[in-house]
């Protein structure tokens, strides 16, 4: 499961550190103590930044780094599609062999395919993605509230 891509992201994480954001969330995986604090900043429906701090295993840390790579600069709809595809891969119990179409969407994140065989680790891989989803809901809910106010 420890693809070089994963180890690279783990040792040299992309976009790490907390910067300005519209919303911040803190997620914990209680079974292993993995933690992430994550902020999102939107410009309209475009993801201007995803910044984060955390501690945890290589899988959870690398996954956050890959997330930053994949989502920053994307439009929300595209980001959601990527998130959905990643979720599908992670829940595949090792049954999905990523094809070209999936690789196109997930880029480096296809390296996590092997992790999906390890139920105890799937949560690690998904930690930052769940945090992002939550932060996005808050950020956009917030601006939705602002707009209707």
Q: Rounded to the nearest whole angstrom, what is the least distance from the CB of residue 144 to another protein in the complex? A: 27
User: Judged by CB under 8 A, which of 30, 145, 146, 147 binds another protein?
Assistant: 30
Q: Which is nearer to another protein, 34 or 49 (CB)?
A: 34
Residue 51 to residues 72, 77, 91, 103, 145: CA-CA distances in angstroms?
Answer: 9, 19, 25, 24, 23
Q: Rounded to the nearest whole angstrom, what is the least distance from the CB of residue 31 to another protein in the complex? A: 5
Output phi, psi for 13, to 5 deg: -70, 145
CB distance 126 to 109 below 8 Å? no
- Measured distance CA(54)–CA(37) in Å, rounded: 6
- Per-residue binding string, another protein, 119-148, x by CB under 8 A, is xxx--x------------------------
Residue 22 binds another protein (CB under 8 A): no
User: Judged by CB under 8 A, which of 5, 48, 118, 138 binds another protein?
Assistant: 118
Among 119, 140, 110, 112, smallest CA distance to 45 is for 140
Q: Which is nearer to another protein, 105 or 131 (CB)?
A: 131
Among 88, 77, 91, smallest CA distance to 122 is for 91
Q: Rounded to the nearest whole angstrom, what is the least distance from the CB of residue 34 to another protein in the complex? A: 7
User: Judged by CB under 8 A, which of 57, 76, 130, 140 binds another protein?
Assistant: 57
């Amino acid at each position: 499961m420890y693809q070089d891509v994963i180890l690279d992201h783990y040792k040299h994480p992309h976009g790490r550190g907390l910067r300005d954001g519209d919303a911040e969330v803190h997620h914990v995986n209680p079974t292993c103590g993995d933690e992430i604090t994550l902020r999102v900043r939107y410009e309209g429906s475009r993801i201007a930044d995803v910044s984060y701090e955390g501690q945890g295993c290589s899988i959870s840390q690398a996954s956050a780094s890959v997330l930053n790579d994949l989502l920053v600069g994307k439009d929300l709809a595209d980001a959601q599609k990527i998130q959905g595809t990643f979720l599908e891969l992670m829940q595949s119990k090792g049954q999905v062999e990523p094809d070209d179409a999936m690789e196109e969407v997930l880029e480096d994140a296809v390296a996590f395919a092997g992790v999906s065989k390890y139920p105890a680790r799937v949560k690690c891989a998904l930690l930052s993605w769940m945090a992002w989803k939550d932060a996005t809901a808050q950020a956009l809910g917030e601006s939705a509230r602002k707009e209707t106010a």
